[in-house]
Structure 1
Amino acid sequence: MTTNESNPPIILIAGHWLGAWAWDEVLQHLTADGRRATPMTLPGLDERDSARASRTLDDQAKAIRETLIRAGASDTEPAVVVVHSGANAPVSLVLDQRPDLIRRVVWVDSGPVASGSVFAPDAPEDLDEFPLPPFDVLGEQASLEGLSAEALRRFRTRAVPEPGPVLRQRVELTNDARPAVPATLVCCSIPQVRIRELADAGHPMFAEVSRLDRADFVDLPTGHWPMWSRPGDLAHIIVEAAARPAG
């Protein structure tokens, strides 16, 4: 009999500008393997939402909690949450609010944020939304390695501007149980040896990594969007992480 212990629900959450569609190729591999995977679009990143530019991190955290519960997650049968890039802020809020719902977090070229973090502290108050930058600009901030011309075309065509409130909101965290949730860090654009060094040195972007009680590191050398450059390999890592014991 298959149970949550051997096949927990998996929630897939992509970063800035992306919706559930970003996981299409990974999802094909996961479902072929019999996994119960649910990709979600965060509030503010649904192009059909006329009020999307006003959505906040709190809205996103609420949606993640609701998605977890709909997927069957509970304090007795928690889920695996796969987090890419800038989705780390709302997921960190959920880890603070309901760590009991999460069996393991798989951080994909990402990691937990610290309390007090603001993604874009210099963003002006009148910035309603932030569209996907030109690729030459984006490539200076995050590696585009491994992305085909078709992947870049799809990225440009389907990207939704990031809501200004999400970029400006300060993350407030208070629950000391948060670092106890097991984690797997999938290291793509930065190798694990460098991430460990930065975490040990207290670098602001990686300081929370050093606080994790149980963390596994997996190198997946590629750019910042491995769901497109190496979807099969990423799916395999997710399956292996989901199979790890919860305790």
Structure 2
Amino acid sequence: MTNNVSSPTILLIAGHWLGAWAWDEVLEHLTAAGHQAVPMTLPGLDERDPERASRTLDDQARAIEQTMTEAGASEDRPVVVVAHSGANAPVSLVLDRHPELVRRVVWVDSGPVAPGSAFAPDAPEDLVESPLPPFDALGQQASLEGLSTEALERFRARAVPEPGPVLRQQVKLTNDARRAVPTTLVCCSIPSAQIVELADAGHPMFAEVSTLERVDLVDLPTGHWPMWSRPGDLAQVLAAAATTPVN
């Protein structure tokens, strides 16, 4: 791992139902500040893909790897990977396979997944896809704090159903080197102090955090979608994380 890249490429990956478009406002701030950022749409979340409902976590991980390659990622020029929410599963796979290509991973209201876990292990095999639920139901699962009516309308209009295979697939991790990748947790809907307590207590959602060798925690109080509720502030946090020395 090297720290001689003062402003590495930042790869932006949003969570369930979202594509590259989710980062538009954050990307505007990062670009204005002189940072090279690349938002991507994971396989299964491109509404133009006729096979999207059959895409898997492995497909998503390979797409991330390809985007990293296109961005020039190497051991000498590793990239920064930003994973929001449910993007944590494919990004965890990429960290397991290519830790040397990642300068820093930034989890946005999210965190690394534990080996053998699946987002919805009890989802039936005949579940083809999972659409964005009504906002009253979604708000019981994740905080909608800070989202304007316009943001919610855009979310509803542009959301793409999550493929069933992505929800059911177990994440198989074998390379402990992934835990040595410098890590930033951007804590939005859950304060950092509470996340530390949950990690120390072995909570399944945060247990993997306690295994990380180098982790910084940043509080950005808002809901689960800070790219819309606090885009400028999130861009500043990402820029700072991306340029923080890793040695």
Partner of 1:131: 131
Provide the TM-score with structure 2 as the length reference. Answer: 0.98
Partner of 2:194: 194
Give a deviation string over 1:161-193, Cα, whole Å, max 9, x none: 000000000000000101000000000000000
- Distance in 2 (CA, whole Å) between partners of 1:221 and 1:10 is 22
Give a deviation string over 1:203-239, Cα, whole Å, max 9, x none: 0000000001000000000000000000000000000
- Distance in 2 (CA, whole Å) between partners of 1:201 and 1:52 is 38
List, as ranges, runs of 4+ consecutive aligned residues in structure 1 with deviation greater than 3 Å. none
Partner of 2:246: 246
Shift of 1:151: 0.1
Cα 1:132–1:4, aligned 2, differ >3 Å: closer, same or farther? Answer: farther
> What pairs with 1:1-247 in structure 2 (closer than 5 Å)?
5-247=5-247
Question: Aligned with 2:107: secondary structure?
Answer: strand
Q: CA RMSD in A?
A: 0.9
Provide the TM-score with structure 1 as the length reference. Answer: 0.98
Give a deviation string over 1:135-181, Cα, whole Å, max 9, x none: 00000000000000000000000000000000000000000101000
Q: Structure 2 regions of 5+ residues with no counterpart? A: none
Shift of 1:121: 0.8
Q: Percent identity?
A: 77
**Which amino acid letter does the alignment assign opposite residue 237 of structure 1?**
V
Count of paired positions: 245
- Distance in 2 (CA, whole Å) between partners of 1:4 and 1:51 is 41
Q: Structure 1 regions of 5+ residues with no counterpart? A: none
- Distance in 1 (CA, whole Å) between partners of 2:189 and 2:4 is 32
Give a deviation string over 1:27-69, Cα, whole Å, max 9, x none: 0000000101000000000000000000000000000000011
